[in-house]
């Protein structure tokens, strides 16, 4: 998730870095040399969603391409990376949500 977040920060010049969270929803090894990763990018406002997606989806496509290349190098196999962008209003102030996407570990 940090690789995806890093690519978003590099490609968006707008002030949204702290409002972006990324959760890897699923990671499946489809065969010997291919992994499928599904991830959700969370933002706090519709305007931020538009910034991340970009005109015609170009920015999100570039984020996916750059992240996929780095993840392939890390895993040593081909990666199919599917990204979604969702608005979760004020997610940074919701402890349960932050815990759910893995940004804070349970204190059990």
Whether 87 has a pLDDT exceeding 90, the answer reads: yes
The 10s digit of each residue's pLDDT in 50-64 is: 999 999 999 999 999
Domain that holds residue 19: 2-91
Q: For residue 73, with 0-12 CB atoms within 10 Å meaning exposed, 13-18 middle and 19 or more buried, which class applies?
A: exposed
Residue 13 domain-assigned (yes or no): yes
In-domain check, residue 108: no
| Residue 77 belongs to a domain | yes
**Rounded-to-integer distance, Cα 61 and Cα 94, Å:** 29
Residues 62 and 39 sit within 8 Å (Cβ to Cβ)? no
- Contact at 8 Å (CB) between 66 and 73? no
Asked, for residue 102, whether it belongs to a domain, the answer is: no
Residue 78 has pLDDT above 70, yes or no: yes
Q: What is the CATH number of the domain that holds 60?
A: 3.30.300.20
The count of structural domains within the chain is 1
0.75 exceeded by pTM: yes
Residue 99 domain flag: no
**Is residue 37 within 8 Å of 82, Cβ to Cβ?**
yes
Residue 71: which of 38, 31, 105, 49 has the closest Cα? 38
Domain membership flag for residue 103: no
């Amino acid at each position: 998730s940090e690789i995806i977040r890093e690519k978003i920060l590099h490609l968006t010049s707008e002030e949204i870095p702290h409002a972006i969270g990324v959760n890897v929803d699923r990671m499946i090894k489809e065969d010997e040399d291919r992994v499928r990763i599904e991830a959700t990018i969370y933002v706090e406002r519709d305007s931020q969603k538009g910034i991340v997606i970009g005109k015609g989806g170009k920015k999100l496509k570039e984020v996916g391409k750059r992240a996929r290349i780095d993840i392939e190098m890390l895993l040593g196999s081909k990666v199919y990376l599917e990204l979604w962008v969702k608005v979760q209003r004020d997610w940074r102030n919701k402890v349960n949500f932050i815990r759910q996407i893995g940004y804070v570990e349970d204190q059990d």
